[in-house]
Chains A and B, each alone.
Chain A
């Protein structure tokens, strides 16, 4: 009979191999799903894993979607490393988008391009402010951050709906629930002509570097993680758990808000009820699959972005519902958690 036997210490090999095995398992299940639905599995796989990387333009679209995922996941990794379960990044994303949209709507045509900086700052502040509700309720009232942050996703979404159906609705918009298209000066500067990749990608990559330094080379980052791994040791060392809570939530809220600002002032260009696209939830998977490591999350963000683009292509090319993206995302997290068992345990044949 196969049994699990605890390893004397965690296996570094499986730390890296487990996400890859999880991806293989997800692909395997995906292939069975395609066959069960009577679709050509080779075409199905091509749509997810070849089409999104087959040329320069495809890569640029891949980056457009990977950017918000990476930005949110970077923030979330600080949370999860500190054992703070913020699962409401979607709400903080929407809050950041609303704040950024508010600034963008105030911009006059022909004004200074400098307004972009304020838009991004507004996004960060909006997201951080939204996350601070969760932090405050947790800090002051011990309310579960899991449930509070998630409930606030629904609240933020309704607030956005209120704005776009009500006070911020474009008077010239044929009664569509959306704001007017933002002035072109608010558009986040693009990196290349002919692609939608913008400065956000550079910000995300700078975030990767910044987070690496913070986590592995500063006392603050160290304290933050000790609190997550061993709360008693953190208390003994005098690291404040309240501070860790606030830092974690403000960082992840700010990051999610920044992603929201990058989206509305970037590819979307206005506020609509479709701003929340599930990036906040997908970023949770990005964070885990990337092992909460800044560099790992770059890869997992690209992978998750492939799932998004693959889902859209599966809809147009194979006639499958776009929601297949969610199936694969969920499966990947599931299989990853199962494969992670191999980090701490080994399989042993016992007679």
Chain B
């Protein structure tokens, strides 16, 4: 039983990483921008967050640095795709390649670094002391709960607030939004930078909380899985959260299976999250009408005002 409680706890933690990044990418895609640079942004942010915590010892400063790094890179991407009308896929790819290279280059000095000991144990009063349930659900880093609040907040913002309606209209039909007088490009840039800062937060969470260390390429494809999650969730924030926990579970299952002494080569277990992503993508995409109904109308397409 103890083991299952720990598995649930680990699943929530792993899912949190994916959920933060994927909610950020969801915001991007809701205004019609696909940012394939998630992996690169997360890597740079992971390094920025890690280095900040090493130097300042302040965990919150680390998150702030990660978010800033993500926002800056996303801003660069945004200026290219929104004002210079570059191809979104190619530009995102460039961001991923650049981010991977840059973080590896800038991070060589931090490979041996350790984070200052964090003595704070997070736990809910009373609930955290309940046997099993406490360990599974109520003794997590605050970020685990914050991301649930974030998902709820996004549901409200996108589907209940006026600004959210405007943002969605920009994603569905930038031409109409432009004709109504909304600043399509500025809205898109804002959303892209907001999404980038969330990817950055996810990166910093990886390097300072989830696996507190810095290694080249440590995000290990989580940015790409987060991208797949938005499709999986048919662009619904609550489903993104659910999907993230599902994938978090798959990631954690490998360690659980290894611990249980399953006679499978470790490489096949490491493969599982990636194979699962492929399988789930195929299953979810097999009905094109369903995807088309839910997908923001202008996704991946450039917008030229006045043309």
What is the interface of chain B mostly: helix, strand, loop, or mixed?
Answer: helix
Which segment of B99-107, B146-154, B199-207 sits at the interface?
B99-107
Residue of A nearest to B306 (CB): A6
Question: Given contacts A143-B285, A144-B231, A340-B86, is CB(A323)–CB(B104) below 8 Å?
Answer: yes
Cβ contact within 8 Å between B102 and A341: no
Q: Does B85 contact A (CB under 8 A)?
A: yes
Closest chain-A Cβ to B50's Cβ sits at a distance in Å of 16
Cβ contact within 8 Å between B102 and A321: no
Which segment of B119-127, B166-174, B178-186, B273-281 sits at the interface?
B273-281
The interface residues of chain B lying within 8 Å CB-to-CB of A24 are none
Cβ contact within 8 Å between A142 and B286: yes
Cβ contact within 8 Å between A87 and B278: no
Which segment of B4-12, B55-63, B137-145, B221-229 sits at the interface?
B221-229
Cβ contact within 8 Å between B268 and A162: yes
Total contacts A to B, CB within 8 angstroms? 146
Closest chain-B Cβ to A120's Cβ sits at a distance in Å of 27
The interface residues of chain B lying within 8 Å CB-to-CB of A137 are 278, 281-282
Q: Does A331 contact B (CB under 8 A)?
A: yes
Interface residues on B, range: 35 or more
Report Cα–Cα, A341/B274, bound state, in Å.
Answer: 35
Which segment of B64-72, B88-96, B190-198 sits at the interface?
B88-96
A330's partner among B102, B265, B275, B288 (CB-CB below 8 A) is B102
B105's partner among A166, A327, A334 (CB-CB below 8 A) is A327
Q: Does B80 contact A (CB under 8 A)?
A: yes
The interface residues of chain B lying within 8 Å CB-to-CB of A327 are 98, 101-102, 105
Cβ contact within 8 Å between A87 and B93: yes
Cβ contact within 8 Å between B99 and A330: yes
The interface residues of chain B lying within 8 Å CB-to-CB of A148 are 278, 281-282
Q: Does A155 contact B (CB under 8 A)?
A: yes
Q: Does A284 contact B (CB under 8 A)?
A: yes
Cβ contact within 8 Å between B270 and A151: no
Question: Given contacts A142-B286, A148-B281, A155-B275, is CB(A329)–CB(B221) below 8 Å?
Answer: no
Report Cα–Cα, A137/B279, bound state, in Å.
Answer: 9
Cβ contact within 8 Å between A334 and B221: no
Q: Does B293 contact A (CB under 8 A)?
A: no
Closest chain-B Cβ to A79's Cβ sits at a distance in Å of 12
Cβ contact within 8 Å between B84 and A341: yes
Closest chain-A Cβ to B258's Cβ sits at a distance in Å of 14
The interface residues of chain A lying within 8 Å CB-to-CB of B215 are none
Cβ contact within 8 Å between A330 and B228: no
Cβ contact within 8 Å between A281 and B285: no
Q: Does B113 contact A (CB under 8 A)?
A: no
Cβ contact within 8 Å between B85 and A326: no
Cβ contact within 8 Å between B80 and A337: yes
Report Cα–Cα, A327/B291, bound state, in Å.
Answer: 36
A341's partner among B85, B220, B267 (CB-CB below 8 A) is B85
CB-CB contacts below 8 Å: A117-149 with B: 137, 140-144, 146-148
Q: Does B97 contact A (CB under 8 A)?
A: yes
Report Cα–Cα, A330/B41, bound state, in Å.
Answer: 13
Cβ contact within 8 Å between B283 and A141: yes
Q: Does A98 contact B (CB under 8 A)?
A: no
Q: Does A241 contact B (CB under 8 A)?
A: no
Closest chain-A Cβ to B46's Cβ sits at a distance in Å of 15
The interface residues of chain A lying within 8 Å CB-to-CB of B76 are 334
The interface residues of chain A lying within 8 Å CB-to-CB of B89 are 85, 146
Closest chain-B Cβ to A231's Cβ sits at a distance in Å of 13
Closest chain-A Cβ to B51's Cβ sits at a distance in Å of 15
Question: Given contacts A151-B221, A284-B93, A340-B86, is CB(A329)–CB(B270) below 8 Å?
Answer: no
Closest chain-A Cβ to B183's Cβ sits at a distance in Å of 16
Residue of A nearest to B90 (CB): A337
Residue of A nearest to B275 (CB): A155
Cβ contact within 8 Å between B307 and A147: no
Q: List 6 A-B contacts (CB under 8 A).
A: A147-B231, A147-B277, A158-B268, A323-B108, A330-B40, A334-B98
Contacts from B to A (Cβ < 8 Å): 36, 40, 76, 80, 83-87, 89-91, 93-95, 97-102, 104-105, 108, 216, 220-221, 224-225, 227-228, 231, 265, 267-268, 270-271, 274-275, 277-278, 281-283, 285-286, 288, 291, 304, 307
13 additional contacts, CB 8 Å, given A141-B283, A155-B275, A337-B86?
Answer: A6-B304, A137-B282, A141-B285, A143-B281, A143-B286, A151-B274, A151-B275, A154-B271, A284-B93, A284-B97, A321-B105, A326-B104, A334-B94
Closest 4 CB pairs of A and B: A326-B101, A330-B98, A323-B104, A162-B267
